[in-house]
Amino acid sequence: MRIRRTALVVVLLAALLAGVWPGQAAPAAQVLVETDPPAPAIVPDDTLVTTRLRVVDANGMPVRGARVALHLDTPPRPKVITTDFPHVEGTTLIDLETVLPDGELRFQAVYPIRGTYTFPARVTLPDGQIVEATPTLSIRENPAEVRNMLIMVGLLFAFGFVSGLIVGSGRKRAGVAALVLAAFWLTGSTALAHNPSGKEPSAQAGPVTVTAEADGLRATATISPGSGAVGRLNEIVVRLTTAGGQPVAGQISLAAIHLEDNVPIYRFDDLPLDDDGTARVAVQFFDGTEHELRFTARATDGRAVAWQVPVEVVGFPPPLNVKVRMWLLLLAVVALGLFLGLWVSGRRADRQLASSGGYQYSTAHRN
């Protein structure tokens, strides 16, 4: 009996060391996310990043023919210092479902803010098994933004410090009110008066459908809603058929262009069409300016049709709580400099008073 117990303990320990518990199977597949350039080299709202989502088996080989439903979610709202796009924080950038003929989904995107992005993915393997995973991608703040923030904080601190020296000297006490008002105006204009577009939300909430024909192909793109808004997804459904309406097998390529800078913010190449000739992807336009969607649909026999759809995007000013929080933070920097200036001025006055008092005492003693 004692020998059997010892043998059972040995078996259990061996199973634990091997990482396998009885009744627990190894995962059928893994979902990996890779980027080019790598994460440390990505600059928010600047770098067009090639992202690869790979589905691999236990041996690291691609699982061909898997179907993936993917969300790309932005980092949550920071607790202290907000990002350049407060309405983008904690939202979804991309939502799509597609087949992976080679076991890999490739797309390009501009990641707008710093923080940790998540990729919740639900993968249906060719044998019907479901694999769920949530890879992550962490992006640091733009170094230029950090530098500009430090410069602004330094200027506000210097303003408070000089103000404290002036007030503490007692020579210009009449200017105290003006200095306080100037501090409120300076910090308030920096933190509160930010409106990325100056526009009201668009009233066009219905879908927009655009059709193009070429080489006997008819391609239809439906964008819903027809205009964009920062923080909201726009669903894009593309259907490729013959002139008679029969579904056509093939692929689509889609690029979302930021017209003001004439640069792409998203690019999807060779997304396969489903059996009904459709492909679906939803994206968020995170900057409140005009964009353009550029499509190319290709049939398997080489025929192609290309077309463009303009999309007006509405931006919004930051939420009031974000504005007030930033204003209080900047005002605290001015207050810190002010109190330090008052302290330095007070110490200087104390030294002068002690020096003057000692001189008068010595003169009276000699008399």
Render pLDDT for 315-351 as a digit per residue (tens, 0 to 9). 877 777 777 777 777 778 887 887 888 788 777 777 7
What the block records as the tokens of 40 is 């440390």
Render pLDDT for 5-33 as a digit per residue (tens, 0 to 9). 554 544 445 444 444 444 445 567 899 99
Which helix (H) or strand (E) element contains residue 33?
Answer: strand 30-36
Render pLDDT for 237-274 as a digit per residue (tens, 0 to 9). 999 999 888 999 999 999 999 999 999 999 999 999 99
Distance CA 117, CA 136 (A): 6
Closest CA to 283 of 237, 251, 340: 237
Decide: 74 and 138 in contact? Cβ < 8 Å.
no
Render pLDDT for 286-313 as a digit per residue (tens, 0 to 9). 998 999 999 999 999 999 999 999 999 9
pLDDT confidence of residue 214: 92
Could you tell me the pLDDT band of residue 156, with boundaries at 50, 70 and 90? Answer: confident
Query: Where do we find the tokens 């236990």?
Result: 58
Note the pTM of the prediction, 2 decimals: 0.78
Render pLDDT for 169-186 as a digit per residue (tens, 0 to 9). 665 554 554 555 555 555
Please give the biggest Cα pair distance in the chain.
119
DSSP state of 152: H
Q: Summarize the confidence of residues 157-177 as an average pLDDT.
A: 68
Closest CA to 217 of 240, 251, 249, 250: 240
The answer for residues whose C-beta is within 8 angstroms of residue 125's C-beta and 6 or more apart is 28, 29, 55, 63, 66, 131
> What spatial distance separates the first Cα and last Cα of the chain, rounded to whole Å?
111
pLDDT confidence of residue 57: 92
Distance CA 283, CA 257 (A): 12
The answer for residues whose C-beta is within 8 angstroms of residue 131's C-beta and 6 or more apart is 27, 28, 29, 30, 31, 55, 122, 123, 125
Question: Which domains occur in the chain, in start order?
Answer: 26-139 (2.60.40.1930), 143-194+322-356 (no CATH), 208-314 (2.60.40.1930)
Q: What Cα–Cα distance (Å) separates residue 298 from each residue in 255, 276, 278, 349?
A: 15, 15, 12, 81
Q: Pairing state of beta strands 313-314 and 228-229?
A: parallel
Higher pLDDT, 357 or 261: 261
Distance CA 25, CA 41 (A): 38
3-class DSSP state for residue 276? coil
